[in-house]
Chain A
């Protein structure tokens, strides 16, 4: 890996995004709009304070997963990836370059979404609001790295979209938003222990509900970050210089 090439790749990806203002607007505004809608739906119930934090983790994760898997698929199909693989660009330069670029967008997106949820929608955060942002960002990075990895197994945009329900929805269902994880059947509970999204939802719920849970939260964030690193490594294994 060469930091100069990694950063050149990040800068290139960000320049591409900049040429597409509509994407930038959607990327930054949609999570906040959805959170606003949720707050409105649950106006007269205490429910928003329970699921609001989980949403702050979910939206960045899902959006980043979609964006990353589609952009990298485009790169594989257009021949630019093949060209780069005949050049002195390392696989990690490519993957980490993408992760950094989309990670930066994720930070912006999370700052806006958390700010909107707390100050406009009145979400109660007992813990540290910055910690909430940290979890949201790590979640977005998880989505980015999972998207990079998943795109390797898709040969068309249609397939990539199908990976959403296949890889993302089960994690949401088992993540403890609908039913607390310890109330699930044992088998599902153990499975959910191994899913990265369970840990990020737990971290988000802890930050918002307890003011003294920073240690626990950081441990959960650590688990999510490990998964993100694992996906980066898996993603770079799927990048091949030689193909059939």
Chain B
């Protein structure tokens, strides 16, 4: 089976800045792939290119066998931007009901995704009255509506406490077992060990594409932070 996401020589400029330089990556299907790297390394831009929201200068991005941004993909991808893109003057349920209608997901999905992100008590609260971490989860819930084959999640665990973070990573693993492909970005290197595979991004180039264990072995380190620092040092040398 072909990859969930495949990019070849992807280049993106923003203003005078080269955000992505000749990036070629591959994300296998049915796995949780972590997209790691310091802020400013191009993670969000890569994700926007994958969902078809980013104008690209050169290269190709193929998503689920189709060119990124193809209309047929709009029902098959769940996307969470870094800023919680939900309406703060609607309740949790009203937000999700609207997004469910837009992607033609069954109305019963709303209840399911609210439970999946653990927001049942907040169902009828205005999003604007929720905490930052809760708002992030409303945004994540919107991406889980319908049955997306690919989830592109930009820092979904920012601002969450350890218990919730663990629960969400367990949810990601469950989804992957059901055959969903996930690309999850994070700048917390510690989250690397929760992934099946890691893409390490630095200055718009790919530093590593490895399993978490493989990364530690090739760098001769014992934690993700050290592994990352070693790779940067090697790239500079």
Given contact pairs A78-B83, A242-B53, A87 touches B103 in the complex (Cβ within 8 A): yes
- Point out the residue from A8, A15, A241 that lies within 8 Å of B102, measured CB to CB: A8
Report yes or no: B103 in contact with A88, Cβ–Cβ below 8 A: yes
Residues of B within 8 A of A84 (CB): 102
Residues of A within 8 A of B75 (CB): 87-88
Given contact pairs A82-B81, A88-B102, A16 touches B89 in the complex (Cβ within 8 A): yes
Residues of A within 8 A of B104 (CB): 88
**Given the complex of chains A and B, what is the CA–CA distance between A86 and B50 in angstroms?**
10
**Given the complex of chains A and B, what is the CA–CA distance between A78 and B83 in angstroms?**
7
Q: Does A19 contact B (CB under 8 A)?
A: yes
Q: Does B180 contact A (CB under 8 A)?
A: no
Chain B contact patch, size range:
20 to 34
Chain A binder among B23-31, B93-101, B109-117, B186-194: B93-101
Q: Does B77 contact A (CB under 8 A)?
A: yes
Chain B residue at smallest Cβ distance from A85? B53
Interface string of A206-244 (1 = CB under 8 A from B): 000000000000000000000000000000000001111
For chain A, the count of residues having a C-beta within 8 Å of the partner chain is: 25
Report yes or no: A15 in contact with B81, Cβ–Cβ below 8 A: no
Interface string of B30-59 (1 = CB under 8 A from A): 000000000000000000100111110000
Residues of B within 8 A of A46 (CB): none
Report yes or no: B83 in contact with A79, Cβ–Cβ below 8 A: yes
Residues of B within 8 A of A80 (CB): 85-87
- Point out the residue from B14, B81, B89, B102 that lies within 8 Å of A89, measured CB to CB: B102
Chain B residue at smallest Cβ distance from A17? B89
Given contact pairs A4-B101, A12-B94, A241-B52, A82 touches B85 in the complex (Cβ within 8 A): yes
A-B contacts, 13 of them at CB < 8 A, read A5-B102, A15-B90, A16-B90, A19-B126, A80-B85, A82-B85, A83-B85, A85-B53, A88-B71, A241-B53, A242-B69, A244-B15, A244-B55
B contact set with A: CB distance below 8 Å: 14-15, 48, 51-55, 69, 71, 74-75, 77, 79, 81-87, 89-90, 94, 98-99, 101-104, 126, 142
Apart from A16-B87, A87-B74, A89-B102, what are 5 other A-B pairs with CB-CB below 8 Å?
A8-B101, A78-B83, A78-B85, A79-B81, A88-B103
